Amino acid sequence: MGAISLRAVEKTYGHGAKAVKVIHGVGAEIADGEFIVIVGPSGCGKSTLLRMVAGLEEISGGEIAIGGRVVNQLEPAERDIAMVFQNYALYPHMTVYDNMAYGLKIAKRSKDEIEQRVQKAAKILELGGLLQRTPRQLSGGQRQRVAMGRAIVRQPQVFLFDEPLSNLDAKLRAQTRLEIQKLHRELGVTSLFVTHDQVEAMTLAQRMIVMNAGRIEQIGTPEQVYGRPASTFVAGFIGSPPMNLLQGQAEGASFRIGNASLPLPAAAPRGGPLLLGLRPEHAGLGRDGEGWPLQVEMIEMLGAERLVYGRLGDAAFTLRIDGTLPAPRIGDTVRLQVPASQLHWFDVGSGRRVGAEGAAA
C-alpha cells in the first residue's frame, strides 16, 4: 500500500538566530494509488517537501509515513520510492537498456527478472526500438521517458516527480503529460508530482496541493480549486488570466469601488470592506444600460477568444469573450452581466474566502 501521510511536517535551515523555517507544519493525507500535484510559485517549498518525502532532505519536525510506516529515519533506498528528476539524471555512457536496468542490477535481481521488467517498461513507454541507444542519441522527450522507465522497473510504492517536464518544449510537454496520465492509469501507483505550471497541475492532478511560502493554501480537485478558491492567493495563481479581484465596500446588493457603484445579482455575505472575485470568462456582454460599466482600454485577439482589458471604476478588469463575437472598440463603455453563482468573496485582511455565513472560511 502506497498511502502517504504528512503530519505537521516542518523544515528549518540553520540554527539559533540564523534559523530559517521554510516548511511550516504541512499536513496532508494521500490515498493509495492517488495522483497528487503539488503546485506553487518558485520558492514556495514544494520541491523541498518532495525531497523530504524522498529522504533527500532531513525533516526538522513532524512525521512522514509511507504505506503506514514512519520513514523519518529511513534512507531513500529503504523507502520503496522512485524519483524522476527535472534533469533526467541518466548515465551518458550507458545504453537505454542499461540505464533502466542499473538499479535492478545493484539490487542483485536475476537476469531474467531484469529482462522482463525492462521490456515491460519499454513497451509501456514505447521505448522498444531505442534500448541500444545512448542518451546523447535521444531527444529530450525520449530521455524523459527513459527516466520514467528507470522508475517503473523498480515497481515502487510511490513515484515522485520533481518538475520532470520543465526542460521540454511546449509540444513535448503536452505529449509527455498524456504519457504520464496513461502511465498512472496502467500502473495505479501513488504519485506526487511537483510543478510551478498550473496547466500541468490542472490536467494531471486527481487532487492538487497549492502551496505558498511553505504552507498549504488549499487541497482539492482541480474543479474545486478553480471553482471555489480558498484564498486570494489561490484565486490569483490558478487560472490564466487570473481571477479579477476588486477591492471595495459591500452595501447590501451593491458594491462600491471608488466612485462607482456596481449592482450585485445577490447581496454580499456581509457589509463593509471586501474583495470581490470574478473570473474573466464568467462575465458576459449585456445590453445597453444594464450591468456593470466596463471602459475598454485594450483588446487581445487570441484566435478562438479575445481578452478585453478595461476598468470598472478605479479597478482594472479583464474580460474573456468568444473570438467570433464582435469586438468592442477601445474607448467604448460596454455593460457586463455577472451571475451570482460566479461571484467570490474574500476578507481584505487575511485574503481568506468569506462564506455565505459572513465568516472568513
pLDDT digits (tens, 9 = 90+) for 49-83: 999 999 999 999 999 999 999 999 999 989 999 99
CA–CA distance, 146 with 96 (Å, rounded to integer): 7
**All domains of the chain in start order, with CATH:** 4-230 (3.40.50.300), 241-346 (2.40.50.140)
State how far the Cα of 316 lies from the Cα of 273, in Å rounded to an integer: 18
CB 229 within 8 A of CB 282: no
Distance (Å, whole) CA 95 – CA 100: 9
- What pLDDT is recorded for position 301? 92
pLDDT for 320? 95
Confidence class of residue 182 from pLDDT cuts 50, 70 and 90?
Answer: confident
Q: Per residue in 105-119, pLDDT tens?
A: 988 899 999 999 999
At residue 124, the pLDDT reads: 85
Sheet holding 315-322, edge to edge: 284-285, 333-337, 292-301, 305-312, 315-322
pLDDT at 356: 52
Residue type, 148: M
Task: List the one residue out of 73, 24, 215 whose CA is nearest residue 65.
Answer: 73
Percent of the chain topping pLDDT 90: 72
pLDDT class of 172 with cuts at 50, 70, 90:
confident
The predicted pLDDT at position 141 comes to 84
Cα 348 to Cα 218: distance, rounded to the nearest angstrom: 18
Q: How far is the C-alpha of 220 from the C-alpha of 205, rounded, in Å?
A: 9
234-246 average pLDDT score: 94
pLDDT over 70, % of the chain: 98
Which one has a higher pLDDT value, 88 or 27?
27
Predicted local confidence at residue 145, as pLDDT? 87
3-class DSSP assignment, residue 60? coil
For the residues 120-136, what does the mean pLDDT come to?
90
Of 79-83, 124-128, 214-218, 239-243, give the range with the top mean pLDDT: 214-218
Average pLDDT, integer, range 141-157 = 89
Pure H helices in 205-246:
222-227, 232-237
Q: Has residue 360 got a pLDDT over 70? A: no
Q: 200: which residues sit within 8 A by CB, 6+ positions away? A: 37, 39, 165, 173, 177, 193
Average pLDDT, the chain: 91
So what's the pLDDT on residue 167?
78
d(CA 304, CA 20): 47
Q: In the chain, what is the greatest distance between 2 CA atoms, to the nearest angstrom? A: 78
Q: Is the pLDDT of residue 86 over 70?
A: yes
**What's the rounded Cα separation, in Å, for the pair 190 and 27?**
17
How does residue 357 score in pLDDT terms, banded at 50, 70 and 90? very low
- pLDDT of 131 > 80? The answer is yes
What size, in residues, is the chain?
361
User: How far apart, in whole angstroms, are the C-alpha atoms of residue 251 and residue 255?
Assistant: 6
pLDDT for 176:
84
Average pLDDT value for residue range 154-181: 87
The answer to whether 72 and 64 are in contact (CB under 8 A) is yes
Contact of 250 with 274, CB cutoff 8 Å: yes
What is the mean pLDDT of the segment spanning 137-144?
88
- The DSSP letter of residue 176 is H
